[in-house]
Structure 1
Amino acid sequence: MNRSRVVVVGAGFAGFQAARSLSRTLRGEAEVVLLNPTDYFLYLPLLPQVAAGILEPRRVTVSLPDTLPGVRLVLGEADRVDLEGRTVHYTDPEDVRGELRYDRLVLAVGSVNKLLPVPGVAEHAHGFRGLPEALYLRDHITRQIELAGPGPFTEEDVARRTFVVVGAGYTGTEVAAQGQLFTNALARKQSGQGVGGRPRWILLDIADRVLPELDRRLSRTADRVLRERGVQVCTNTSVREATHDGVQLDTGEFVPTRTLIWCVGVRPDPLVSGVGLPVERGRLLVERDLGVPGRPEVFACGDAAAVPDVTRPGEYTPMTAQHASRQGKLAGHNVAASLGHGEKRPYEHHDLGFLVDLGGVKAAANPLGIPLSGPLAGAVTRGYHLAAMPGNRVRVAADWLLDAALPRQSVQLGLVRSWSVPLDSASPELARVPGGSSKEH
């Protein structure tokens, strides 16, 4: 008798936890297959520290084969789901097409950069959803400071020393906070004593405050830290056009820059809309047990799923790592239950608080609703990240200690080029290669 096969598509926070839950519950009684473009789980919250030179890239990656025993990893990008044939079609890293039959399917494909119809953005901006983008920005930022030199500065040099971040949510706020510290250190090395002045960082958002989705106390803390560091915070402001020479704001100001970092949010992976099932803003509609109505063999979780929010009737859970991880665990449990192991449970989760790393010893946090700032918030934030990571804890902690004791290495490796990390990509986890088949939408 053939074993049942469960296919999990995606190894982000939701997919990783779903695969781990299934492996621990089923214990070989069913085959668990994980389809993912890379052989690692990426711990996204620490990605800004990679771009800022604090952490080495491998520190924020966790090996899937090492941490998911009993799960068969298939490297590839899902192209299409055939619901009637119960197969997932995919393309592997060498552009060979394949397909996976399933008895149960868990869609956890996550999200990609959110695009807005702003002229020039797709051509001149870079996102921040994958490791290749972080590596590119780390090199690019270093290169701009080095090309500008120690001064005196020409107009071109000033543009190179100006960095614009669009979107003051989690990612944009952390990128601006970490980036300001990073470029200040680079500039001091260039000039010897920093006589040329600090590089200019601008953080834009159409909302009336930074971190608009969080408690106002966290927002005020982050805003204060950013401004004290010299970050120019521009709320109620958006980009009208992006060009090679700079950014035109809707206020009428033109900002000369060679760096536009796009952090306006995320959208569900386009694969979800192509499945042919009802969606809500690109997210697959599911029941509270994460099952798809009318398709008892299909489950969805994380950013790919519109999960009813019990704390806000009539709404869906936000697209956050906190929800994705817990939904992944529950999806694994409920899939196992559908195969005769236990009983299904509904998704119920109340937020445990939020953490925003502002670089150095600064952070804004409200664990269990208790507002914290300064070094205490910084310690709580880093402690949480170490506890939440499924691996590499010692290496991450070691890099933090080294960063506190030694100057950062300010070299650019040039391994990721601008054209290989387009903003308009359905695969931010993969750098485009010459002649490759990188998906764009």
Structure 2
Amino acid sequence: MSRPRVLIVGAGFAGYRTARVLSRLVRGRADITLLNPTDHFLYLPLLPQVAVGILEPRRVAVPLRGTLPHVRLVLGEARPDGIDPDARTVRYTGPEGDSGTLVYDRLVLAVGSVNKLLPVPGVAEHAHGFRGLPEALYLRDHVTRQIELGAVSEDPRGRTARRTFVVVGAGYTGTEVAAQGKLFTDALVRGRTLGDGAPPRWLLLDTAPRVLPELDERLSRTADRVLRRRGVDVRTETSVEEATSDGVRLTDGEFVETRTLVWCAGVRPDPLVEGIGQPLERGRLLVDPYLRVPGRPDVFACGDAAAVPDLEKPGHYTPMTAQHAWRQGRIAARNVAASLGIGERRAYRHRELGFTVDLGGVEAVADPLGVHLPGPVAAAVTRGYHLAALPANRVRVAADWLLDAVLPRQAVQLGLVRSGSVPLDTASPESARVVGGPGAAVAPAAVSAEPGA
């Protein structure tokens, strides 16, 4: 008899963990195929450090073939209308436009999420997605270019605009981008002639009454103090009303001249799950506590694309975070194996172990197991957590951190990624072929490009 075929769609936090744990559980008793647009798992929490030159890009790219030796990798993305639960097939489009069909006995949907596009005039035209390595590299080049062009500009207003960086959304991504970005631009202008003497200016905006509104208020206050002490202009209960090529108009009526807008307004589930024809909860595929799609015993879903009941908070669903996606991947693997007669199934249940936010330098905020930690201690805990969570490249990441601590960063434009290669709408078929589509995990941010960049 042929071995059962397990197909995993997406290699973000949930999909990668599912493939890794499942391959250990079945030990060759099932054929596991992973469908993903890229050949790596992207460790997104460290992506802001790539954007400011602390880490080299390959440090956060975990190779799938090297870390999943018993999993067959197929490069491609599932087509929006390509999942047929009745025929147990998934049609996909390859990286060079070719197409194919995969047959499965068990299907795990871990397609993640895409940028949440809000109806703000001008954002779609003047912003680009920040969801992967191309976006991080583009942002690093873009910020470096603005500092260099501002240093030689004879127009005082132009100099100020190029040194002004606006971040919308003070959640995890926005807070880290603003905190790391301020340190980065301060280092870029150190020793330069600034003309009018104005230092780089970073604005962090959010409609919430405080930064990091999803975290404990003590962590929020600590992060706010660090940002303000560093020189970041934190404005709560404020957002962008309109974006133009010359700047942004805020909801309080002020117009801020800038060439850079970082959009961290959140994410939404990948629209791929809408085409399956199963019940949804705010765009997420409804599943039971065992991560199985009701009425489809051979289909499982986990991560940002799945609405998983929160057994710790009856009546609620688990939030769309990497922490939940990573742990749901392990439970999905166990339950897929159980459906094949290997082990017993388990319901997903998880209590928060705490959060960490890296603010750059020796500053961070963390509350492991509910213990509030600020400053250097939190920074050590944060980096220790990331090293433990990384599936690979730990020594290389630690080496880059050490080098960054003792050597100045090399601020040069590489020019590897052009503006058109990093669109804001990561849900469109065109952008998916460029950026990485549904296999990519979440990094909810966008950065604007100057005209002609």
Shorter-chain TM-score: which interval? Answer: over 0.9
Q: 1:427 and 1:377, CA in 2 relative to 1: closer, same or farther beyond 3 A?
A: farther
Runs (4+) of structure 1 exceeding 3 A deviation are 150-153, 427-433, 436-439
Query: Is it true that 1:212 corresponds to 2:245 in the alignment?
Result: no
CA contact (8 A) 2:202 2:233 kept: yes
Structure-2-length-normalised TM-score: 0.93
The residue aligned with 2:145 is: 143
Match in the other structure for 1:44:
44
Aligned residue in 1 for 2:23: 23
1:144 is displaced (CA, Å) by: 0.4
**1:2 CA drift (Å):** 1.5
Cα deviation for residue 430 of structure 1 reads: 6.8
CA distance in 2, matches of 1:425, 1:69: 30
Residue of structure 2 equivalent to 1:157 = 159
Q: Within 1, Cα distance between the matches of 2:202 and 2:186?
A: 10
Within 1, Cα distance between the matches of 2:225 and 2:410? 28
2:134 to 132, 143, 148: 132
| 1:6 is the counterpart of 2:6 | yes
Deviates more, 1:1-10 or 1:418-427: 418-427
Matched ranges for 1:365-384 at <5 A? 365-384=366-385
Kept in 1: contact 2:426–2:432 (CA 8 A):
no
Q: 1:395 to 1:137 in 2, by over 3 A?
A: same
2:245 maps to 244
* Alignment partner of 1:175 is 2:177: yes
- Give the number of equivalent residue pairs: 436
Residue 191 of structure 1 aligns to a residue in which SS? coil
1:142–1:410: 8 Å Cα contact kept in structure 2?
yes
1:127 to partner: Cα distance: 3.0
The superposition leaves residues 50-109 of structure 1 with CA deviations (integer Å, 9 ceiling, x where unpaired) of 001100000001000000111000000111211111111111111101111010000001
Distance in 1 between residues matched to 2:324 and 2:433, nearest whole Å? 30
Larger mean Cα displacement after TM superposition, 370-379 or 417-426: 417-426
Report if aligned partners of 2:130, 2:422 keep a CA contact under 8 Å in 1. Answer: no
Counterpart code for 2:322? A
Q: Deviations over 1:105-160 (max 9, x none)?
A: 00001111111011110111233221111111011000000110167762111111
**Aligned runs of 1:39-438 on 2, under 5 Å?**
39-79=39-79, 80-149=82-151, 154-191=156-193, 196-426=197-427
- Percent identity between the aligned chains? 73
Are the counterparts in 2 of residues 5 and 103 from structure 1 also a CA contact under 8 Å? Answer: yes
Secondary structure of 2:192's match?
Answer: helix
Aligned partners of 2:314 and 2:108: how far apart in 1?
25
What secondary structure, in the 3-state scheme, does the structure 2 residue paired with 1:89 have?
A: strand
What secondary structure, in the 3-state scheme, does the structure 2 residue paired with 1:149 have?
A: helix
Structure 1 227/206 Cα, relative in aligned 2: closer, same or farther at 3 Å? Answer: same
Q: 3-state DSSP class of the match of 1:334? A: helix
- Root mean square deviation of aligned Cα: 1.9
Deviates more, 1:264-273 or 1:358-367: 264-273
Which blocks of at least 5 consecutive residues in structure 2 are unaligned?
A: 439-453
Residues 351-372 of structure 1 deviation map (CA, whole Å, 9 limit, x = unaligned): 0000000000100000000000
Q: CA deviation at 1:173?
A: 0.2
Residues 55 and 337 (structure 1), Cα distance of their counterparts in 2 relative to 1, 3 Å cut:
same
Paired with 1:245 and 1:431, the residues of 2 have a C-alpha distance of 28
Q: Which amino acid aligns with 2:183?
A: L
Compared with structure 1, are the counterparts of its residues 109 and 174 closer, same or farther at alpha carbon in structure 2 (3 Å cutoff)? same
Write the letter of the residue equivalent to 2:283.
Answer: G
1:312 match: secondary structure: coil
Q: 1:430 to 1:197 in 2, by over 3 A?
A: same
Q: Aligned equivalents of 1:72 and 1:282: distance in 2?
A: 29
Counterpart CA distance in 1 for 2:429 and 2:153 is 36
Contact 1:165 1:176 in 2 (8 A): yes
Separation of aligned partners in 1, 2:298 and 2:426: 29
1:368-395 residue CA offsets vs partner (Å, 9 max, x unmatched)? 0000000000000000000000000000
| TM-superposed deviation, 1:198 | 2.0
Cα deviation for residue 428 of structure 1 reads 11
Structure 1 unaligned runs (5+)? none
Matches of 1:57 and 1:403, distance apart in 2: 14
Tell me if the contact between 1:151 and 1:191 (Cα under 8 Å) persists in the aligned partners.
Answer: no
User: What CA deviation, in whole Å up to 9, does each residue of 1:398-420 have, x standing for no partner?
Assistant: 00000001000100111111111
- Greater RCO between the two (CA within 8 Å, min separation 6)? 2
3-state SS of paired residue (2:139): helix
Given that 1:309 and 1:317 are in contact with CA atoms closer than 8 Å, whether structure 2 keeps it comes out as yes
Deviations 1:153-188 (A, max 9, x none): 621111111001111000000000000000000011
- The range that moved more, 142-151 or 228-237, is 142-151
Partner of 2:445: none
> For residues 428 and 265 of structure 1, do their structure 2 counterparts lie closer, same or farther at Cα, with a shift above 3 Å needed?
farther
Distance in structure 1 (CA, Å) of the matches to 2:300 and 2:106: 8
What is the TM-score normalised by the length of structure 1?
0.96
2:425/2:431 contact within 8 Å kept? no
The letter for the 2-side match of 1:91 is T
